[in-house]
Amino acid sequence: MSNTLVQPVWYEDAQLLRTDIDEESILTKQIDDLYSGYGLIDHGSKGFLSEQEAPSLYESSKGFIVSQELGYLRKIPRYNYYKDPSTITNDYLKMKGFVTSIEEDSFKGRLFSDDGTYELVEFEKDSVSEEDLPLFKEGAIFYWIFGLFTIRKQRKKVSEIRFQRIAPLNPNEFDSLMDKADKLNEAIDWD
């Protein structure tokens, strides 16, 4: 973290900072979104922010968080959302399934495609991450992600099993879902 003192508390200063960065449109969008997001100025306005209007914390266009604390501004480097995303892919297969049985060295599961069809699969137990072992049991939902990923500019084949991590429904939501299921069940004519 840097403690460099900085001046900009005005939108116009943020605009000026853009000149040394090439993605003007992206940055303009960031500025506008951030400022309008904070409710400080109307979208597109270039007026000064008064001290009262100035937030205790905001982001400048240069890619820094600027925190106004103890009467001075602190500049903290931030990552740039728009440059060099660390992991990308557009060539992959992703399926969701659940564990049907666990054998000594392997486990079987049912994996569903987006079109609703499914296939029965068997994976080695070793393919389950140690960190996912507490979730690994019959009936557990998992994702299988397979594809060619670009990870920090390196192309890698990836095959990963990840068990679903999701917070439990609260009791009210659970009851509501059960009510819906009951109504649906009653509406079905089993004949």
Partner 1 sequence: MQKPDIYSLSIVLLGNFNPIIINPHWLELKGLIRASDKDQEGIIEVVHPEVSKFDLSFAKIQVTKDRFQLDCYNEAEFILCKDLVISIFRYLAETPIRGIGINHTRHFKLKDVNEFKKFGHWLVPVEPWNDDLKEPGVLELKMVENENPDAKVRNTVIISPSGVVRPLGVSFQLNYHIHFDRISDATVDGTIEKHWELSAVKAMNLYENILKRFQNE
**Which residues in 63-82 contact partner 1 (CB under 8 A)?**
65, 67, 76-79, 81-82
* Residue 41 engages partner 1 in binding (rule: CB under 8 A): no
**Is there a contact between 74 and 66 (Cβ–Cβ < 8 Å)?**
yes
Q: Least distance from C-beta 132 to partner 1, angstroms?
A: 7
Q: Least distance from C-beta 189 to partner 1, angstroms?
A: 27
CA distance 54 to 73: 12
* Residue 155 engages partner 1 in binding (rule: CB under 8 A): no
Tokens 């666990």 correspond to: 102
* Residue 37 engages partner 1 in binding (rule: CB under 8 A): yes
CA distance 134 to 106: 16
* Residue 100 engages partner 1 in binding (rule: CB under 8 A): no
* Residue 167 engages partner 1 in binding (rule: CB under 8 A): yes
Stretch of residues binding partner 1 (CB under 8 A), selected from 3-11, 45-53, 105-113, 128-136: 128-136
Both tokens of 171, joined, read 């009791």
Stretch of residues binding partner 1 (CB under 8 A), selected from 10-18, 33-41, 45-53, 100-108: 33-41
Tokens 């604390």 correspond to: 69
The DSSP symbol for 173 reads H
Tokens 């905001």 correspond to: 58
Within 10 angstroms of residue 8's Cβ, the number of other Cβ atoms is 20
Q: Cβ closer to partner 1: 11 or 142?
A: 142
Q: Which residues contact 58 (CB under 8 A, 6 or more apart)?
A: 34, 35, 38, 40, 65, 66
* Residue 40 engages partner 1 in binding (rule: CB under 8 A): no
Q: Cβ closer to partner 1: 66 or 99?
A: 66
* Residue 85 engages partner 1 in binding (rule: CB under 8 A): yes
Q: Least distance from C-beta 48 to partner 1, angstroms?
A: 22
Nearest to 60 by CA among 40, 42, 89: 40
* Residue 98 engages partner 1 in binding (rule: CB under 8 A): no
Nearest to 9 by CA among 86, 98, 75, 70: 75
Where does this chain bind partner 1 (CB under 8 A)? 23-26, 28-29, 37-39, 56-57, 65, 67, 76-79, 81-90, 92, 94, 96, 129, 131-132, 143, 145, 147, 149, 162, 164-170, 173
